[in-house]
Amino acid sequence: MFSLTGKIAIVTGASRGIGFALADGLAAAGAHVVAIARSAQPRVPFSHPVQYISADVSGAIGEVFAGVAQAHGRIDILVNAAGITLPGAQDEAALANFERSLQVNLTAPFACCLAARPHMPPGSSIINVTSIGSIVGLPDNPGYAAAKGGLRMLTKGLAVDYGSSGIRVNALAPGYIHTDMTAKSFSDPVLHEQRRAHTCLGRWGTVDDLLGAAIFLASNASSYITGHDLLVDGGWTAKGLV
Ligand code: NAP
């Protein structure tokens, strides 16, 4: 039920961090994985066979997807994990950062969905990596909040639009996961403790904590689940009083 053997998967944002772990993990579960990010190479080699393509999801990504579909005949799984964070709500770059955040974190995932859909057979799965910031307000990052909230609702809208084609579209919403994106707060003792203490499980997440949920959403195990937010946040959003 959870096997991905024979499935063709694309994972964006896979040169490091969450996307890298999901690409490697989907390959371990049997998928043929095409990993995409801007870097010329992944930061470290994958542990499993993964095809790597250097590309910018905010650029001409349709050509990349068409190439994958031509080479493999179809696309069964799309994981939109590429993302950026550009904090600053008041500084002079705030508006430019807002627009760039929307471009990479919201418009690009939609462009990837548009590029993948014609090649996706019934039973295919799209996973949009959102954030707890798609559900609760977090400070000093309006572009990230707007983009991830938008991606959460885009997920539900596309679940409606693609449902009749048998394509499922779900959101995977991580809490605080230790990656480059969160390196600053992870290494700051006060910020680290604030984020740890707000979880129910009493710890930060690791990239590997997301893999089971991603395999679940990518596989037939979730065959009747679409338009769903799957929170993998250690209970961060469940907890009220800290
Ligand atoms: P990360 O370590 O900074 O990795 C981001 C990845 O996205 C890198 O592989 C980067 O590769 C790629 N990327 C960025 N811009 C791109 C572009 N224009 N085109 C193609 N690839 C691009 O961040 P992460 O923590 O793994 O985050 C992955 C996803 O999870 C993001 O969507 C993020 O918003 C989300 N998320 C993270 C957390 C967390 O706590 N870490 C929490 C909630 C949600 P290149 O630089 O090589 O392009």
Distance 226 CA to ligand 1 centre (A): 23
The whole-angstrom separation of Cα 118 and Cα 218 is: 18
Pocket lining: 82 vs ligand 1, CB cutoff 6 Å: yes
Q: Which atom of ligand 1 sits closest to the CA of residue 57?
A: 19
The whole-angstrom separation of Cα 6 and Cα 125 is: 14
Whether 144 is catalytic is yes
Low-confidence residues in the chain, pLDDT < 50: none
Catalytic residue among 144, 162, 176, 224: 144
pLDDT, residue 16, reads 98
Residues 6+ apart with CB under 8 A from 128: 80, 109, 151, 152, 154, 155, 169, 170, 171, 172
pLDDT, residue 30, reads 98
The whole-angstrom separation of Cα 235 and Cα 136 is: 13
pLDDT, residue 131, reads 98
Pocket lining: 127 vs ligand 1, CB cutoff 6 Å: no
Ligand 1 atom 21: the closest Cα is on which residue? 37
Distance 164 CA to ligand 1 centre (A): 31
Pocket lining: 145 vs ligand 1, CB cutoff 6 Å: no
* pTM as predicted: 0.99
Pocket lining: 181 vs ligand 1, CB cutoff 6 Å: yes
pLDDT, residue 242, reads 81
The whole-angstrom separation of Cα 128 and Cα 226 is: 12
pLDDT, residue 127, reads 99
Write the CA distances from 234 to 17, 46, 95, 179, 222, integer angstroms: 18, 26, 32, 16, 21
Superfamily (CATH H level) for 8-238: NAD(P)-binding Rossmann-like Domain (3.40.50.720)
